[in-house]
C-alpha cells in the first residue's frame, strides 16, 4: 500500500526545512523528533524509553515510555511501513522508508530489554561538498584533494565508524560527477541521495517467509556491470561483495567508490583482509587487488562534539605481501 508523507511545520524564516515522514498513525508518537531536521538518530530501547541524537550524542526524552507490548507493536508496524516483516521467525529487520529514513528493529528474546528500534534520519537537503567544507568537515587543502579525486576518476573508499558521516561524504563526492556520466549505486538498504540527474539505485532484497527470493549485494554487483555504469558505487562493503567490487574496479571501471567500516585509517587493511577472507581471498590477494583497484582511502571520524571531519587521505600500498596505508600529504 502506498503511503502519503507529510512535513511538520517548523518556525523561523531561516529554519531548515522539516523532514518528510509517513502520515501513518504508528508514526505519531515519534513525529515530533522524526520531522526535526536537527535530529540525526532516534532510538527506542524497549520499555527503557526514547533517546534522540541531535549531533551531541543520544539524549533521553523525559516522560516518554512504552510498555513491552506497545514497543513490539510499534517495531512491527514501523518495519511494515518499509514493506518488510518482523515476527518471531524473523526477529531482526532493516528497512528504508521513502525520503531515505532507515529503520532497524529487533524483537525479544534477541533484544533482551524488549523491542529495540533504531532510526537513522537523513539530512533535509542533498549533501554538497561546498556545504561540508563550510561546516568544517575538511579544510581547503583536503577539499581540493577530494575534488581532484573525482575529476581524475580515482576509485575511492570512504572509511569510518558507524555514524561518522561516510554516506554523507560519499554522496557529496558523487554530486561532483559530470552530468554526462551514469552512476549506478548498490546498497543493502538504499540510503545514498545524490544531486545528479543520472543516478540508478539498486537495493538488496531479503528472503521471503519461505526463505527464497533473496538478492544479495554480490548478485547486484554482477547485474550492475551489465548496466554500463560510468561510476559503480557500493554503499557499504560488509561481506563477500568486496571480491566482486575489487574485481570490477580492476577491470576498467574507474571512478568507482564505496564505504567500509573501520575505526581508524590504520585499521583499514585489517578490515579489508577480514572481508576478503570471508570471500575466500588470501591476505596477499587482498593486498594486490586493493592496491591496484583503489586510488585513495578517505577516512572520516565523528568528534566528541558531534562534528564529522575528514582526518586523513591515504593510498593503499603493498609491503611484504600485506596491505598497508600510505598517508597523502
Each residue's pLDDT tens digit, 134-146? 989 999 999 999 9
Rounded to 5°, the CA angle 18-22-25 comes to: 120
34 within 8 A of 19, measured Cβ to Cβ: yes
Considering only residues 307 and 179, tell me which one the structure prediction assigns the higher pLDDT. Answer: 179
Check residue 15 and give its pLDDT: 54
pLDDT tens by residue, 273-329: 999 999 999 999 999 999 999 999 999 998 877 788 999 999 999 999 999 999 997
What is the number of helices (H) and of strands (E) in the chain?
Answer: 9, 16
With bands split at pLDDT 50, 70 and 90, how would you rate the model's confidence at 242? confident
Mean pLDDT of 249-268: 91
Q: What are phi and psi of 269, to 5 degrees?
A: -55, -45
Cell of 97: 522508508
CA 102-25-82 angle, to 5 degrees, is 30
Report pLDDT for 7: 41
Which cell numbers in the block locate residue 61?
526524552
**Cell of residue 95, nine digits:** 528497512
**CA 46 to CA 68: how far, in whole Å?**
6
For cell 539505485, what's the residue? Answer: 201
Q: How confident is the model at residue 269 (pLDDT cuts 50, 70, 90)?
A: very high
Ranges 24-28, 177-181, 225-229, 302-306, most confident: 177-181
Q: How confident is the model over 125-132, as a mean pLDDT?
A: 87
| Model pLDDT, residue 286 | 95
The pLDDT confidence band at residue 1, using thresholds 50, 70 and 90, is very low
d(CA 258, CA 245): 9
Give me the residue spans of the domains in the chain.
25-120, 129-327
CA distances from 157 to 82, 242, 294, 328 (A): 29, 11, 7, 14
Query: CATH 3.10.20.90: does it fit domain 129-327?
Result: no
pTM of this prediction? Answer: 0.81
Sign of CA dihedral 94, 249, 165, 238: positive
**What's the average model confidence in pLDDT over 190-213?**
85
**pLDDT at 212 > cutoff 70:** yes
Interatomic CA distance for residues 232 and 244, integer angstroms: 11
**Tens digit of each residue's pLDDT (9 = 90 or more) over 101-123:** 899 999 999 999 899 999 998 87
Q: What is the pLDDT averaged over residues 213-229?
A: 89
Mean pLDDT of the chain: 88
The pairing of strands 41-45 and 116-120 is antiparallel
Q: How do beta strands 308-319 and 92-96 pair? A: unpaired
- Check if the beta carbon of residue 168 is closer than 8 Å to that of residue 127: yes
Task: Answer for the pair 255, 153: CB distance below 8 angstroms, yes or no.
Answer: yes
Residue 2: the pLDDT is: 37
At a CB cut-off of 8 Å and minimum separation 6, what does 86 contact? 75, 76, 79, 80, 92, 93, 105, 107
List the alpha helices (DSSP H) in 108-216.
129-135, 140-151, 166-174
What confidence tens digit (pLDDT) does each residue in 10-47 have? 444 445 677 778 888 888 889 999 999 889 999 999 88
Give the class (CATH, top level) of 25-120: alpha beta
What average pLDDT does the segment 242-260 reach?
A: 88
Residue 225 has pLDDT above 60, yes or no: yes
Amino acid at each position: 500500500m502506498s503511503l502519503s508523507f507529510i512535513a511538520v511545520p517548523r518556525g523561523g524564516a531561516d529554519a531548515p526545512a522539516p523532514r518528510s515522514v509517513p502520515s501513518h498513525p504508528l508514526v505519531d508518537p515519534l513525529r515530533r523528533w522524526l520531522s526535526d531536521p536537527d535530529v540525526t538518530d532516534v532510538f527506542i530501547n524497549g520499555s527503557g524509553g526514547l533517546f534522540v541524537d541531535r549531533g551531541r550524542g543520544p539524549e533521553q526524552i523525559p516522560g516518554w515510555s512504552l510498555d513491552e507490548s506497545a514497543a513490539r507493536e510499534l517495531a512491527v508496524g514501523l518495519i511494515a511501513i518499509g514493506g518488510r516483516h518482523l515476527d518471531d521467525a524473523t526477529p531482526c529487520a532493516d528497512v528504508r522508508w521513502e525520503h531515505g529514513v532507515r529503520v532497524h528493529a529487533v524483537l525479544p528474546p534477541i533484544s533482551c530489554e524488549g523491542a529495540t528500534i533504531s532510526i537513522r534520519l537523513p539530512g533535509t537537503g542533498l549533501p554538497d561538498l561546498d556545504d561540508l567544507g563550510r561546516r568544517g568537515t575538511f579544510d581547503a587543502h583536503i577539499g581540493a584533494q577530494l575534488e581532484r579525486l573525482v575529476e581524475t576518476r580515482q576509485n575511492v573508499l570512504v572509511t569510518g565508524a558507524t555514524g561518522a558521516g561516510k554516506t554523507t561524504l560519499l554522496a557529496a563526492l558523487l554530486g561532483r560527477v559530470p552530468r554526462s556520466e551514469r552512476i549506478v549505486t548498490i546498497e543493502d538498504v538504499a540510503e545514498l541521495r545524490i544531486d545528479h540527474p543520472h543516478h540508478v539505485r539498486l537495493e538488496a532484497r531479503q528472503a521471503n517467509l519461505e526463505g527464497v527470493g533473496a538478492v544479495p549485494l554480490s548478485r547486484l554487483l554482477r547485474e550492475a556491470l551489465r548496466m554500463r555504469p560510468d561510476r559503480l558505487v557500493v554503499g557499504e562493503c560488509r561481506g563477500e561483495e568486496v571480491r566482486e567490487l575489487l574485481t570490477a574496479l580492476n577491470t576498467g571501471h574507474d571512478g568507482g567508490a564505496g564505504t567500509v567500516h573501520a575505526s581508524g585509517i590504520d585499521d583499514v587493511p585489517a578490515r579489508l583482509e577480514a572481508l576478503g577472507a570471508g570471500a575466500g581471498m588470501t591476505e596477499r590477494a587482498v593486498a594486490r587487488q586493493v592496491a591496484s583497484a583503489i586510488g585513495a582511502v578517505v577516512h572520516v571520524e565523528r568528534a566528541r562534539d558531534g562534528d564529522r571531519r575528514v582526518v586523513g587521505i591515504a593510498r593503499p600500498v603493498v609491503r611484504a605481501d600485506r596491505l598497508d596505508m600510505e598517508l597523502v600529504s
